[in-house]
Amino acid sequence: MNNSVAVIGESMLELMRAESDSSCRSMPAMLSYGGDTLNSSVYMSRLGAKVEYITAVGKDKNSEWLVKQWQSEGVGTRFVRTDEKKVPGLYMVTNDESGERYFTYWRNDSAARYIIDSEEKKQALYADLEGFDWIVISGISIAILDEASKKRMYELLQQCKARGAKIAFDGNYRPALWESKEQTRQAYQTVTAFADIILPTIDDEFQLYGEEPKDEVIDRLLSYGAKEIVLKMGGEGCYTVADNERTLVPGRKVVVVDTNSAGDSFNAGYLTGRMLGMSVEESAQRGHLLASTVVQYRGAIIPKTAMPKMVG
C-alpha cells in the first residue's frame, strides 16, 4: 500500500470509568486516549497505511504522553503543532448494559481548536499536506473550529483536492459541538459537495433531518454532490453507493461490549480497502470485520493482538 494519508482532527485524553466495588467505593479510572480521527489513524496504521496525524497539542506532560502513544502505533507526528498556552481535551466514557457508550467532554479550549485560526496557519498546513494521496476529516474536526476557521478549512480541503488529493469525510455528528442543526447541515453539505467519499451514519442523519427511508437519505446526499457513499447502519450493516449502484453489505453478528470506535474502525477498514484498489463492497466487508472485532473490547483502541486477520 503506497498511499499516504493525512488525518486532520483532535485527539483527547480518555477516562474509562470503572465499576464500583462491593463497598460502593470508586475504583480507579483507566487513562487512555482517543478521538474519532485518531482512532481511525491508529487502525489505518495497523492495516498498513502510511498515516500522518494533523492536530495540535500543548507542551505539558500529558501532551507529550499522547504524542508518544501515537508514535508507538506507527502514526506519524511530523506535523503535530504545539501550543504552550493550551492543553489537550479530556473525555470520560460510560457504557450502558447494551454496550452503547456515552461521553462527557472537557475540551472547550483544547489546542486543536486553534490549528487553522489564521491565514498563516492555513498556508502552513497547506504546505504540510503537499504530496498526500488522501486527506481524512470528520464533522468533529470541523465542529471544534470557530466560523472563520471552518471557512479556511473548507478552502484548504478544496485546494488540496485541486492538486490531486482524495477527500474522505465522516460527519460523526455531536450536537453539543454545534450551535444549531442548521449550522451542521450547511457544514456537511459544503464538504459533501467536494468530498470523494463520505461515510455518514444513519442515526446522525435522522438526528439532523428526521427519520426517513434510507433511499431518501441517499437521494438527499446525492443531491448535495456526494460521489461515493457508505451509509453506516449499525448492526444491520451499511449501504454502499457508487456508480449508481446501491448495495446492502450486511454487518457481522457479535456480542457487543462497547460501541466506542465502531464507526472509526469501520472507516479505517473501508478506506484502506479502497486504497488497496478493492471494490466498495469488498472494502465494506473489510470495515465490518474490523468494527465487529473492536466492539467486543472496552475502549477505543483494542490490543494489537486482538486485530483480525485482514485480506490484502
**Any idea which residues carry the catalytic annotation?**
264
Give the Cβ contact number of residue 224 at 10 Å: 15
Q: Which residues contact 58 (CB under 8 A, 6 or more apart)?
A: 82, 83, 84, 85, 86, 87, 88, 111
Written as one letter, the residue type at 70 is W
- Looking from the CA of 79 toward its CB, the CA atoms found within 13 Å total 22
Q: Phi and psi of 57, rounded to 5°?
A: -135, 175
Q: Which residues contact 20 (CB under 8 A, 6 or more apart)?
A: 26, 27
CA–CA dist 107, 89 (Å, integer): 4
**Closest-CA residue to 1 (of 53, 62, 45, 65):** 45
**Closest-CA residue to 96 (of 17, 31, 150, 157):** 17
